[in-house]
Amino acid sequence: MNLKLILLLIFLSTVTCAFAQTHRSEIGIQSDNDSYLLQGSDNYYTDGLFLYYRHALKVNGNDSAFLQNKILGFEFGQKIFNPQSGVITDAKYVDRPFAGYLYIGSTLNFLYKNESNIKISAQLGVVGPSSGAEGVQNFVHNTFGFYHIQGWQYQIKNDPELNLSAEYNKLLARTTGFDVSLSAYTDLGTGFTGAGVGPMFRLGTFNQLFNSASTQSTAIAANRVAPLHQHEFFFYYKPQLNYVAYDATIQGGMFETHNNPGTLEVVQTSQPFVLSNQLGITYTSNRWILDFNAIYHTRDTKVMIYLHQWGAITAIYRFN
C-alpha cells in the first residue's frame, strides 16, 4: 500500500467521522484469549466469546430532566477455564478447576446527565459439561493443530446459575484530553457473588460518559447534547480491587457437595481479594467501535501457581 493510498484512507475516515450520526442499535462480538498477549501462556481464564445486541430506548416525560440515555441490551457468552496447564495428568495438579460457563443475559443501562450511570443485568446460565467448554476447546485445538487437551474429566459438575449484577460509574474530574471516573460493581447470584471498585483513567479524545464506548452507551435514540468529539480515540487504565464471596467456576455449585470420594470433580477455595489491572485502547467512528485491552489478574485461588493475564478484542457495528 503506497503513501498516497494511506493518506486517502485517513482523509476518508476523517470525513466520515466529521459527519457522524446517531444510531439506535448495535451488534457486536468480543473474543477473549490469553494468546492475544503473545506470552505463550495457555492457562486459567483461557478463552471467552460473547455476542451483543443493544438498542437505545426513548427518554420521555419527567425522566428527560435528569436521564440522558437508556439502553436495553441482550448478550450470549461462554467462558473457558483451565488449571496451570491444558495437560493435567493427575488431579493434584488442578490449581484452578477445569470449568466452563455458558449464559444468556439482558442489561438495562441508565445514563444520567451528570455523567453517572447505573447498569443492571441478569444472566441465566450453566457451569459444567453442559456449558460445552470441553468440546469447544478440543475443537479449536484439533482444528488448528494445537496440543491435545487432557484433564477435563476433573471439571466442575453441572450446576444451573442465576446471576444478578449492578454497575455504577461516575465522572470525578476532567481536563482537556484526560479524565478520571469511579467504577464499581456488585454481583449477587448462585454462580457469582462479590463486588469491586476502582478508578478509570482516560487519555485522548473521548465523549461524555452518557455517550461513550467506556460505558457501552454508543447506541443513542436522540442526541440532545452534542458530544465532545465526533469520534473517540483514547487509551485507558482501570485498576480494580475485587472481593470474591463465591465463584462457581472455582468452588462448584453453591448447593452441591464436592470432592466426594469416588468422584473426579476437583474444586478449590477462591481468594477473597483479587486485584486486576486493565489497559486498553478504544476507537469509534460513525459505524464502528473497536477496542483492544489487556487484563492482568492476581491469583483466583489459594493454590494457583502463576498470575494470569489475557487480551480482549471487541468489534461493534452501529445501525438504524
Q: Which of 304, 307, 183, 179 is nearest to 241 (CA)?
A: 183
pLDDT of residue 161: 97
Q: Which of 23, 125, 124, 121 is nearest to 72 (CA)?
A: 121
Domain range annotation of the chain = 21-319
pLDDT of residue 257: 72
pLDDT, one tens digit per residue, over 2-17 is 566 555 555 544 444 4
Q: Which residues have C-beta within 8 Å of that of residue 87, sequence separation ≥ 6?
A: 147, 148, 149, 150, 151
Architecture category of domain 21-319 in CATH: Beta Barrel (2.40)
**Mean pLDDT taken over the chain:** 92
Q: Which of 72, 53, 21, 71 is nearest to 223 (CA)?
A: 21
Neighbours of 247 (CB within 10 A): 24
Q: Which of 188, 154, 30 is nearest to 81 (CA)?
A: 154
> How far is residue 167's CA from residue 28's CA, in Å, rounded to a whole number?
20
pLDDT of residue 19: 44
HEC string for 216-236: CCCCCCCCCCCCCCCCCEEEE
Mean pLDDT in residue range 265-287: 97
Mean pLDDT in residue range 71-91: 97
Q: Quick check: 18 pLDDT over 50? A: no
Rounded alpha-carbon distances, angstroms, from residue 39 to 36, 150, 238, 294, 308: 8, 21, 21, 12, 11
pLDDT, one tens digit per residue, over 115-163 is 999 999 999 999 999 999 999 999 999 999 999 999 999 999 999 999 9
- Write out the three cell numbers for 132: 460445552
